[in-house]
Amino acid sequence: MALLKLENVTKRFGGLVAVDKVSLEIQPGELIGIVGPNGSGKTTLFNVISGVYYPEAGRVIFDGKDITRLPAHKRAPLGLGRTFQIPRPFSSASVRENVAIGAMFGTLADKVTVDESLEIADRYIDMVGLKAHTDKAAGTLTPVEKKLMEIARALAMRPKLLLMDEAMAGMNPKDIDDMVQFIKRIKEEEKIAIVSMVEHIMRAVAGLAERVMVMNQGAKLVDAKTEEALTDPRVVEVYLGHPTDASKWRSQVWKNGKDSDE
Ligand SMILES: Nc1ncnc2c1ncn2[C@@H]1O[C@H](COP(=O)(O)OP(=O)(O)OP(=O)(O)O)[C@@H](O)[C@H]1O
Ligand SMILES: [Mg+2]
């Protein structure tokens, strides 16, 4: 059984169709990337899955349950964890407290004491490499560290599916490579499914995802194994605005590791 199933999901903003009849299945333990140009509907789809918006049409099924109209805060206890495109920490609270909040509102909600939540927090702070910052105010972290803290908080929810929005936006190539390795490690160690919205950073998508869904103008353009999806002529055209030689594109994405929008 699919862990997450989207059936013909449509989300409109006034006359604009931000997500257009998207169907998608994600299996337990799968690592899938969702990419697409600016405004193609990635974040909106993400928000429909996490319950920030309800779709006008279609269904969202998680772990066998219809959650299409379930409020966002009731999704986390079912095992749907998320990060935000722009991390929103409680700035004056410590890193440890911020991460512990994840444990208190995730699948372990009502099952853990405050002390246990703090212990869980320590485990994930260690995992993301922020041990030295545990007691610092979250507001003092660098943007990359905030991103890592955000991931630790989402992991402390002990999700079955982790949704990551733009986990690598604004990072330099070295940080991106580290993050890619890190996300793969999380997937293996935590045995969870991960959906990562990866913006235009083709290098990251290529190195990270097993499967990729490419969105364009709200709709699903391609859903295939990563290499097949990223070399699909329709995808190349959407990204470059014109068709190009497949081998040229391939070397741009894989060998040089250049971002496609450079
Ligand atoms: N709250 C909103 N109200 C009105 N229109 C919106 C809203 N959120 C998104 N949109 C519109 O919906 C479309 C899809 O936007 P969305 O943010 O989902 O795209 P995206 O693929 O995440 O883009 P980006 O790569 O820039 O993050 C865009 O045309 C956007 O302007
Ligand atoms: Mg977005």
pLDDT, mean over the chain: 88
pLDDT above 50 (res 124): yes
pLDDT above 70 (res 6): yes
Question: Model confidence over 151-206: pLDDT tens digits?
Answer: 999 999 999 999 988 777 778 888 888 888 888 999 999 899 999 887 666 778 88
Q: With bands split at pLDDT 50, 70 and 90, how would you rate the model's confidence at 255?
A: low
pLDDT above 80 (res 43): yes
For residue 261, what pLDDT is reported? 43
CA distance 23 to 219: 9
For residue 178, what pLDDT is reported? 85
- Least confident among 48-62, 68-82, 164-178: 164-178
CA max distance for the chain: 58
Q: With bands split at pLDDT 50, 70 and 90, how would you rate the model's confidence at 257?
A: very low
CA 255, distance to chain mean position in Å, is 25
Share of the chain above pLDDT 90, in %: 58
pTM, whole model, 2 decimals? Answer: 0.87
Most confident of 85-89, 101-105, 240-244: 101-105
In short, whether 18's Cβ falls inside 6 Å of ligand 1 is: yes
Pocket test for ligand 1, best of 12, 13, 239 (most atoms within 8 A of CB): 13
Phi and psi for 253 in degrees, rounded to 5?
Answer: -75, -45
For residue 199, what pLDDT is reported? 67
The residue contributing the CA closest to ligand 1 atom 9 is 44
The residue contributing the CA closest to ligand 1 atom 16 is 41
Burial of 91-115, coded b for 16+ CB within 10 Å and e otherwise, reads: eeebbbbbbbbbbbbbbbeeebeee
pLDDT above 80 (res 239): no
In short, whether 196's Cβ falls inside 6 Å of ligand 1 is: no
Q: Which ligand is nearest to the CA of 35?
A: 1
Q: With bands split at pLDDT 50, 70 and 90, how would you rate the model's confidence at 91?
A: confident
The residue contributing the CA closest to ligand 1 atom 25 is 38
Most confident of 49-63, 106-120, 150-164: 49-63
For residue 168, what pLDDT is reported? 78
Question: Around Cβ 257, how many Cβ atoms within 10 Å?
Answer: 17
In short, whether 42's Cβ falls inside 6 Å of ligand 1 is: yes
CA distance 207 to 128: 19
In short, whether 11's Cβ falls inside 6 Å of ligand 1 is: no
In short, whether 89's Cβ falls inside 6 Å of ligand 1 is: no
pLDDT above 60 (res 259): no
For residue 163, what pLDDT is reported? 92
Q: Which ligand is nearest to the CA of 238?
A: 1
How far is ligand 1, taken at its centre, from the CA of residue 218, in Å? Answer: 9
How far is ligand 1, taken at its centre, from the CA of residue 41, in Å? Answer: 6
For the chain, the straight-line distance linking the first and the last C-alpha, in angstroms and rounded, comes to 40
Taken in order of first residue, the domains within the chain and their CATH numbers are 1-79+163-262 (3.40.50.300), 89-158 (no CATH)
Q: With bands split at pLDDT 50, 70 and 90, how would you rate the model's confidence at 109?
A: confident
